[in-house]
Structure 1
Amino acid sequence: MSTRTGLWTTAAGVAVVAALGLLVANGVVWPNRILAARYDVRGVDVAHYQGQIDWDVLAAQDLDFAWIKATEGASHTDPRFAENWAAATKTDLLVGAYHFMSFESPGADQAAHLAAEVPATPGTLPPVIDLEFYGAFHDDPPTPDEVHTILGPLVAGIEEHYGVPPIVYATEDAYDLYLADRYPDLPIWIRSVAWSPRLSDGRDWTIWQYSNRDRMPGHDGVEPYIDMNVFAGTREELAALTLD
């Protein structure tokens, strides 16, 4: 092989890798879509970042469920929650709300805030606790004992008010630190956007967030992407988790 041919081959290889990286970064190519395709029940999770959502358009895209951000900490409410909840519950989607857990306020106060904002409507999905690192806690995570002091009362308050245990959403790092070998009765929603999830304690996941780079007609916000998830079961089994 000549030097010139070798240089062209190297340049072409670099160009292909760069193009593939750009496609992945923009969500055009997402390896986990192949792994997630074996699951039939799909859904999204949204917050005000997705902007104005046309729920009829979104629901028509082979989706079964949606979780909508409702609250955060002990006082913040997502500015689009009421609008999203009212519109989404008029579609054929199974709909639930999620609460972003703060490490800076008591769990009982957070549960009370969620209960004040999200109606316990029969047929809606269980509330979700979003447990992940944020801000300075990425570099300096709270200890397990500090988190359980908040999470325990939050779980108890939700279960008492809604009559069902909450689902807990977690990144893999947060799961390993705070949930592994704990809370055996709580369904787990695991975030794993680079590979198929495998929980460190051998537990089965209930919901898997496999992509944070999907694009769908029906939403137009500052965040152009939407999170995609699958449920490890049938739609009927997911519906069986809803509030009575």
Structure 2
Amino acid sequence: MPKQRTAKNSYKKIYASCAGLGIACLALFVYTFFLHHNPASAQEYPIKGFDVSHHQGEIEWRKISPKTFQFIYLKATEGGDFKDRKFQDNWIQAREQGFLVGAYHFYRLCRDGRIQAQNFIETVPNKADALPPVIDLEYDSNCINTYTKEQLLKEIQVMHDQLYQHYGKQPIFYISKSFYNIILAGQFTKTPLWVREYQSKPDLKNNPAWLFWQHTNQGKIKGISKEVDLNVFYGSQYEWAHFLEQNGIDRSKYFQNLRSK
């Protein structure tokens, strides 16, 4: 009898362990497939776009319609000397397909702003119908402690001002939530923000207005074999047209695309 009782107790412990493990596995499943992977909903925003770099490989631009995506940003440069090897091809082909195209620079926190601005200016053509230049600002583990916060803000200002002067358009800051809250909150209040936030709508310190929202990095687009960052513009179709007009871009082409839908 004692052995039988011991066996029953052992079975109970095993069943309890399995039940506990099952609950843990279920919780992990729910987080992984319903919370972590599901992109935040951006359906209410009619103006949609995406951004790509060499990581997406060869893109079949003819399979993508400007009627579906109203804007595209291409990675052009990084730091003081890196140039994206697919930028020139993507720039030419996307524009030939009638897309509104802009370029972005990944800012290296350990390089000075003047050198990085020069790299971008040498790479990206100054076209009147191009979208405003974008500076991608996020934490870089390779050189996070090179500058103090004050020095870093000064170097970012240098690049911002040089791009503004060269292209004649107000640059945009692409930002992660952590970088904005720690470094940029309360600074550059006139610079539009492009926010990366995958779990919910943008929610930044002091609640600044945002211009673009990157709501997922797992987008699927016919003509691109790899996952893509998807973005939306904060505003209506007519507010988008006004934004284009402010940046010296002929909006008649955009409305022509709307009428042909």
Give the TM-score normalised by structure 1: 0.84
Please list every run of 5 or more consecutive structure 1 residues that lacks an aligned counterpart in the other structure.
none
Candidates 157, 180, 185, aligned match of 2:185 = 180
Please list every run of 5 or more consecutive structure 2 residues that lacks an aligned counterpart in the other structure.
1-11, 250-261
Q: Alpha carbons of 1:210 and 1:83: their partners in 2 closer, same or farther (altered >3 Å)?
A: same
State the distance in 1 between where 2:96 and 2:215 align. Answer: 26
- Say if 2:54 is the partner of 1:48: yes
Report matched runs for 1:86-105 at 5 Å. 86-105=92-111
Q: Alpha carbons of 1:52 and 1:12: their partners in 2 closer, same or farther (altered >3 Å)?
A: same
CA displacement at 1:14 relative to structure 2: 5.7
CA displacement at 1:149 relative to structure 2: 2.4
State the distance in 1 between where 2:169 and 2:235 align. Answer: 19
- Say if 2:151 is the partner of 1:146: yes
CA displacement at 1:54 relative to structure 2: 1.2
Q: Is the 8 A contact 1:163 1:243 kept in 2?
A: no
CA displacement at 1:130 relative to structure 2: 0.3
The residue type paired with residue 226 of structure 1 is: V
What residue in structure 2 maps to residue 210 of structure 1? 215
CA displacement at 1:133 relative to structure 2: 1.1
CA displacement at 1:207 relative to structure 2: 0.7
State the distance in 2 between where 1:236 and 1:168 align. Answer: 20
State the distance in 2 between where 1:51 and 1:26 align. Answer: 26
Q: Is the 8 A contact 1:126 1:241 kept in 2?
A: no
Deviations 1:35-78 (A, max 9, x none): x1111111101110011111222335721111000011111100
What residue in structure 2 maps to residue 230 of structure 1? 232
The residue type paired with residue 82 of structure 2 is: H
State the distance in 1 between where 2:241 and 2:72 align. Answer: 15
- Give the fraction of aligned pairs with identical amino acids, expressed as a percent: 28
Q: Alpha carbons of 1:11 and 1:87: their partners in 2 closer, same or farther (altered >3 Å)?
A: same
The residue type paired with residue 219 of structure 1 is: I
Q: Alpha carbons of 1:24 and 1:76: their partners in 2 closer, same or farther (altered >3 Å)?
A: farther
**Shift >4 Å, 4+ stretches:** 5-22, 24-27
The residue type paired with residue 228 of structure 1 is: L
Q: Is the 8 A contact 2:212 2:234 kept in 1?
A: yes
State the distance in 2 between where 1:141 and 1:41 align. Answer: 38
The residue type paired with residue 158 of structure 2 is: P
Alpha-carbon RMSD: 2.6
SS in 2 for 1:66: strand
State the structure with bigger RCO (CA 8 A, min sep 6), 1 or 2: 1
State the distance in 1 between where 2:154 and 2:200 align. Answer: 31
Q: Alpha carbons of 1:146 and 1:59: their partners in 2 closer, same or farther (altered >3 Å)?
A: farther
What residue in structure 1 maps to residue 125 of structure 2? 119
Q: Alpha carbons of 1:135 and 1:154: their partners in 2 closer, same or farther (altered >3 Å)?
A: same
Q: Is the 8 A contact 1:121 1:243 kept in 2?
A: no
Figure out how many residues of one structure are paired with residues of the other and give that number.
Answer: 234
State the distance in 1 between where 2:201 and 2:36 align. Answer: 20
CA displacement at 1:19 relative to structure 2: 4.5
The residue type paired with residue 162 of structure 1 is: Y
Which structure has the bigger radius of gyration? 2
SS in 2 for 1:219: coil
What residue in structure 2 maps to residue 195 of structure 1? 200
What residue in structure 2 maps to residue 161 of structure 1? 166
The residue type paired with residue 160 of structure 1 is: Q
Q: Is the 8 A contact 1:70 1:97 kept in 2?
A: yes
SS in 1 for 2:215: strand
SS in 2 for 1:186: coil
State the distance in 2 between where 1:81 and 1:176 align. Answer: 31
CA displacement at 1:240 relative to structure 2: 2.6
What residue in structure 2 maps to residue 66 of structure 1? 72
